[in-house]
Amino acid sequence: MSSQSTPQNITDKVEEMANQAQMKKDEMMSQTSMNSQSSDQNASYTSQASNLLQQTGEQMKNMAQGAAEAVKNTLGMNNATNNASNAPDTNHPSNPFSRG
């Protein structure tokens, strides 16, 4: 018996190769889809982390400003409390500088 290719054998091989190519294509498309989903998820995580860091930074800034204001108030150096409306009344009888 000779090992000659018959039209049926050729057709079978072509179909087998086409099926293998289709399976490989499906596998590659699945990997691409998973990579895309992973990339989208990583971008979402990055955005969330960025927002968290920004909020934390703002909170720390506000806390530091509040602490600075508290120190200024304690030491009497706060400009808001040293304005003219809070200055002692020089006409008040208990003011030692109004006598004279």
15 within some domain:
no
50 within some domain:
yes
Tell me: pLDDT of 10 over 70: yes
8 within some domain:
no
47 within some domain:
yes
Q: State residue 1's pLDDT score.
A: 44
Query: In the structure encoding, which two tokens stand for residue 45, read together?
Result: 């995580």
**Which tens digit of pLDDT belongs to each residue from 22-61?**
999 989 888 888 888 888 888 889 999 999 999 999 999 9
Q: How far apart are CA 35 and CA 45, in angstroms?
A: 15
Structural domains in the chain (count): 1
9 within some domain:
no
List the one residue out of 42, 22, 24 whose CA is nearest residue 34: 42
Q: Position 77: which residue type?
A: M
61 within some domain:
yes
Provide the whole-model pTM: 0.42
40 within some domain:
yes
96 within some domain:
no
What's the Cα-to-Cα distance from 54 to each of 23, 41, 59, rounded to whole Å? 47, 20, 9
Give the domain range for residue 70: 27-75
| CB-CB neighbours of 33 under 10 Å | 10
